[in-house]
Amino acid sequence: MIVGFSGKLYKKYEKDGIELLKEAIDEALEMAGLTYSDIDGIMANIGRGSFHGNKTYLNPPAQIGEYFGIKPKIIDHVQYGGPSVLAMIYRAYKAISAGDADTILCVQGGKISHIRDSNQFQKTDIIDSPFDDFIKVYDQMSPISDYAMVAYRHSKLFGTTDEQRALVAVMQRYNAINNQKAMFRDPITVKDVLASRIVSYPLHLLEIVYPIDGFHVFVVSKRTSKSALRNIDILAYGEAHWPNPPAEWDDIIYTPTIESAKRASFNLNRVDAFELYDSFTITVMLQMEDIGLVEKGKVGHFVESHDLTYKGDVPINTGGGSLNTGQPAYMSGGVILEEALLQLNNMANGHQVSDANVIFLNGIGWWSRRHTVTLVLGEKK
C-alpha cells in the first residue's frame, strides 16, 4: 500500500521549510500517480523550527493541511523522534484497512540548518523532560554525550574496541559510494575513522551523523493501480517506550528494541537486508544485539567476522545510512525507510541487494534511546 515516496535532502536549503516539503510531496505524489485532492489523511513529525524562519507548528499535520488546502478525514501527530515515521506507516495501514481514509500522507523532516549553524536551540516553553532543570544544567552535549557514555560502558563491559565500531562506519561508507543521495561518498578506512577527532570519548567525528535540511514523504494508499511499486505489506511490527531517564534503567547498554523486536517476533533468517537507525556507530551495534542478530556484548566480534555491505552476508544500511546522507532535522527514520523501499522495488542503483524481498527496519528515538519501532516490510505471499 506504499504507492509513492520521496526524500529531499540538502546540506542547507535556501528557501523556507514549507517549500522544501512541497518538493517532497510533489515527487511522492507523482510516483503514486495521485494528486493533492486524493489525500484524505495526514500524519507528520516535524523538527523544531522547521517551516518559516524559526517557527515550529504546534500541530504539524493540521497546519500542513491548512497550508496545502487538504481537508483530511484523519490526522495524527506522531512525535517521538527519529522512528516516528516508521510508526506512521503502521498507523496509516491500520487506518486504511479500517476504512478511516484512502490515501494518507506520512511526513517527517524539517529545515534546521539555521539551528545547526547557530549551535543553539530556539528558547521555548517546550520541555523534553520534567527533569530538564536537573539534567540540562550540566555541561554536556546530548545526544552525543549520551551515546558516547553507552559506547564507553559497552567497551568496558565487553571489550568492544574503537576499531570494531569504526568498521561499521567503514562498511556503511562502502554502501554510500554509489548512492546518489549520499553527501559523503569517498571511501574511508578504519584508520581514517580513528584519526578523526574525538568529539565525546570514545566517539569520533566519523561515527556521528551530520544534521541536514530534509523531508521524507511516504504515500500510503489503497489506490495502487497507478503506482508502479510492488504491493508492499507490513509483515511484522512492534514498538516499545521506556520514558524514564536512562540513568534509572537497569542498564544503559540495552535499548527498548529488545521489546519492540520481540513484539514484532520475526524470523531473522527470512530477512534480506537490515536498515537500522544509525545516529552513531554504537546505535547500529546496540540494535544488532537487541533485535537478536547477535548476543549482547558480542557485536564487536560479529562486525569483524561478517560483511555488512550490500554485497555481504548480512547487509546493513545498504545505502550508507544517515551517517552518509546526513540526518534530516535530527531524525534518521525517513532515510532508512526510503532505503528499504528502494531495495524492495529494485530501485537502489549501485547498492542493490540481489533478490531483496524482506527488509527489517528498526528505529530508535529521542536523545536517550527511549522509543523504538521495529517494522518488517515485504510482499505478503
Contact footprint for other proteins (CB under 8 A): 130-131, 133-135, 137-141, 144-145, 148-150, 152-153, 156, 197-203, 244-248, 252
C-alpha cell at 240: 516499545
Least distance CB 368 / other proteins (angstroms): 10
Say how far apart CA 242 and CA 369 lie, in whole Å. 8
Say how far apart CA 377 and CA 381 lie, in whole Å. 12
Long-range contacts of 12-17 (CB under 8 A, 24+ apart): 12/113, 12/117, 12/212, 12/213, 13/111, 13/113, 13/213, 13/214, 16/51, 16/52, 16/53, 16/111, 17/50, 17/51, 17/52, 17/110, 17/111, 17/213, 17/215
Least distance CB 103 / other proteins (angstroms): 42
Say how far apart CA 179 and CA 177 lie, in whole Å. 6
C-alpha cell at 104: 494518507
CB nearer other proteins, residue 126 or residue 247: 247
Least distance CB 324 / other proteins (angstroms): 23
Least distance CB 338 / other proteins (angstroms): 31
Say how far apart CA 183 and CA 354 lie, in whole Å. 24
Say how far apart CA 26 and CA 189 lie, in whole Å. 39
CB nearer other proteins, residue 197 or residue 380: 197
Least distance CB 248 / other proteins (angstroms): 6
CB nearer other proteins, residue 138 or residue 267: 138
CB nearer other proteins, residue 103 or residue 283: 283
Residue 94 CA: distances (Å) to CA of 88, 188, 234: 10, 42, 10
Least distance CB 204 / other proteins (angstroms): 11
Handedness of CA 174, 235, 25, 18 (dihedral sign): negative
Least distance CB 156 / other proteins (angstroms): 5
Say how far apart CA 254 and CA 63 lie, in whole Å. 37
Least distance CB 328 / other proteins (angstroms): 25
C-alpha cell at 143: 545526544
CB nearer other proteins, residue 59 or residue 140: 140
CB nearer other proteins, residue 119 or residue 267: 119
CB nearer other proteins, residue 139 or residue 313: 139
Least distance CB 259 / other proteins (angstroms): 17
CB nearer other proteins, residue 214 or residue 246: 246
CB nearer other proteins, residue 157 or residue 228: 157
Residue type, position 198, single letter: I
